[in-house]
Amino acid sequence: MNDSPSVSLRILSLEDSDTDEELILRELKRGGVNFVSRRVQTRDEFLRETLEFQPDIILADYKLPTFDGGQALALAKQSCPEVPVLIISGAVGEETAVELLKAGATDFVLKDRMTRLVPAVRRALREVAERQARRTAEENLRALNEVLEQRVADRTHELRRKNLLMEEDLTMAKELQLALLPHRFPTLPRGVQQAASAVKFASIFHPASSVSGDFFNVVRVSETAVGVFICDVMGHGVRAALVTAMMRALEEQLGELAADPGALLTAINHSLCGILRQSGITLFTTACYIVADIGKSRLTVANAAHPSPLLLRHHSADILPLTPDDTAGPALGLFEDEVYRTSTFPVAAEDLVLLFTDGLFEVENTLAESFGENRLRKTFAQHAGQPPAQLVQDVLTEIEQFAAGHVFPDDVCLVSMEIARLQSPLAGSAEAVGVGVADSALTRPAREIASPPLQPCG
């Protein structure tokens, strides 16, 4: 359907007048239309040529002896609905013209105004071309949508498969990480039941996601001492969880230093800085390590920017922070040459030590108020005297009630250590079942080891 000089426009003409047919063809030629035409006068001829000639446009006289333009229009809409039909007539009333247009005629031209024929033909062909282009665009768009939908479906399937694999990996990582945590705590003396141990433990470990950046461990240091290590790696998720595994490995690798908290943190920090320097990663972790020696009635503590553990005195109901402000060192992984201090505190029978990560008290309520360390200490004091396992559970429950449904934004780790009784270094001494000399030690100040100036890593 093109009237350019290189392509002939196929015109089917329904006309019974030789003179009118000649006028129509002459007008088309004068208008520069390059065409070939066929003329029909009957219904049968019209139907045959619409199929065989396959016209680009139909010019139909409105009145013929046995056939008319209205009937031709109806047949054309059935046999070749995309072909425009122009009605040409000597006289068409307004009502007839409206009916023809409603029936699908593209236009009509009066025979005494043939100058309108060529513009009408060109406009009709242009409309057909536009419809065809629009239809082609719609088909292309539909095909593209189908391709895109298939790609989305394929991509969704692939993502679902990868997510499933990732979930399986995270599940395994979670199980491995939980396996690294202590499930049975060491007893003093060695081999007794947990209930008969001179030092008893309870813990709560609650990751904010599948895996956690918090970690703790409890190790036997000697026949009269146990150590508790707790750390909180910067960030969340898999990256932090990998570092906790690294911290566990470093802790075990440096186990010969377990009796000296400051020396252990110093060695872990030195190794961690070396690993981070080689990898080019900026990362740090807070940590605290406490050794409880029931034979010497004391606690030794070193802290690397971790929230201070608390000592709940049984006989006085006082709460003592085990990391005075001037004794905590920087987080591990920042300064390679840092030497961490060891502080010493006296301990009595039935005293309770609590270690935790900051996720425990950073949770907020509906008013965006943080639970905070001060409220946490008051909560510990309110529940003092309970068995360790009950105490940690009640503390967590109270914090959850404060949050009123808000989730903990960070990993939560809470460990309690109860000094059930002390053991005298002298067999049969009265100190083995009471406080005796240990009570007199409560008034002794903590001992500290000074550290040299900070040296940046790498």
pLDDT tens digits, 232-249: 998 777 788 888 888 989
Q: What is the pLDDT of residue 189?
A: 92
pLDDT exceeds cutoff 60 at 426: no
pLDDT exceeds cutoff 70 at 451: no
Cα(346)–Cα(178) distance, rounded to whole angstroms?
33
Q: What is the pLDDT of residue 429?
A: 39
Q: What is the pLDDT of residue 416?
A: 94
pLDDT band at 424; cut points 50, 70, 90: low
Cα(33)–Cα(417) distance, rounded to whole angstroms?
102
Cα three-residue angle 227-230-232, rounded to 5 degrees = 165
Percent of the chain with pLDDT over 70: 89
Q: Please compute the mean of the pLDDT values over residues 312-329 and round it to a whole number.
A: 84
**Residue 60 host element (H or E):** strand 57-61
pLDDT tens digits, 92-142: 677 887 888 888 888 888 888 888 899 989 998 888 888 889 989 999 999
pLDDT tens digits, 34-54: 999 999 999 999 999 999 999
pLDDT exceeds cutoff 50 at 439: no
pLDDT band at 290; cut points 50, 70, 90: very high
- Average pLDDT, whole number, for the chain? 84
pLDDT exceeds cutoff 80 at 179: no
Q: Please compute the mean of the pLDDT values over residues 351-372 and round it to a whole number.
A: 91
| Cβ neighbour number for residue 428 with a 10 Å cutoff | 7
Structural domains in the chain?
Answer: 9-133 (3.40.50.2300), 181-441 (3.60.40.10)
Q: Is residue 270 within 8 Å of residue 285, measured between CB atoms? A: no
Phi first, then psi: give them for residue 280, nearest 5 degrees.
75, 20
Q: What is the pTM of this model?
A: 0.63
Q: What is the pLDDT of residue 232?
A: 93
Q: What is the pLDDT of residue 7?
A: 65
Cα(255)–Cα(253) distance, rounded to whole angstroms?
6
pLDDT band at 270; cut points 50, 70, 90: very high
